[in-house]
Amino acid sequence: MAYEIHILRTADAGEISLQEWHALCAADPSLELQEQLLGINPRTGETIVLGETDAASWRSPVSGDEYLFDYRRGRISFVHDDELIIKAKDIAQALGARVEGDEGEAY
């Protein structure tokens, strides 16, 4: 499993609600909520579809690469990338949250 980084609040501040996440995505034109995620099985070439997600895609204006922020259980998670850290900090600030790694380190 890949090392993940999370946007989350302190325990006393409460979890980020799904409604807050959806509202932020609606207000930020660079974030696009994904109703389903598609992937390709590298061994078989089969298309894999995950439905009913609360993930949002973001395309870097610098590299053009597309990244995914995944909302799960009151936090927003993503795989580390330097470009993504900058966007994650913007998201965290808008939600009154912080950015931290799997081992608790602050970004």
Whether residue 80 is contained in a domain is answered as: yes
Residue range of the domain that includes 35:
16-101
Q: Would you place residue 41 in the very low, low, confident or very high pLDDT band (cuts 50, 70, 90)?
A: confident
Whether residue 1 is contained in a domain is answered as: no
Q: What is the pLDDT of residues 50-84, one digit of tens each?
A: 666 799 999 999 999 999 999 999 999 999 888 89
Whether residue 7 is contained in a domain is answered as: no
| pLDDT of 39 over the 80 cut | no
DSSP string, 15-81: PPPHHHHHHHHHH-TTEEEEEEEEEE-TTT--EEEEEEEEEEEEE-TTT--EEEEEEETTEEEEE--
pLDDT on residue 51: 65
